[in-house]
Structure 1
Amino acid sequence: MFVATAHDGSEQLYPIAFGYVDSENNLSWEWVLDCLKGGLDHIDDLVFISDRHAIIEAGIFQCNPYDMLL
């Protein structure tokens, strides 16, 4: 299960998306990130925070090749 959350103005977490996949692999991460990009593409200062796992980095680069992952 993948879950995407955000902070609101009061610094409270709220879910913006979730999805179920068969396994955590490159293809599933690309699918999740592509879905997020489709819904959040209008946000210029979008930031992904992760544990920098190689699969996540590859998915972010595949969906957003010009973004930087810190």
Structure 2
Amino acid sequence: MAQVRVMGDDADEVTAVLEALLPLVRACTALTEGSPTELGKRGPGRRVVFELLPAAPGPVTVERVDQRAARRPELT
């Protein structure tokens, strides 16, 4: 698992970096990001981590190979 960590003693700077970085990561079709998690930090500042994975290779098509279950009659 690849993990990105953005941390610093200046919480505003960390926030600014995340506001610039996360839209770029989300726009990249080659990557998928996990939800950012705020970690505890002693003293001032922020520490945020998120998982970064390669994106799926493309759309997936699924075909049903079994018979559809018989529909239950509607109750009237």
TM over 0.5: no
Interval of TM-score (by shorter of Structure 1 and Structure 2): 0.3 to 0.5
Higher helix share: 1
TM-score normalised by the chain length of structure 2: 0.31
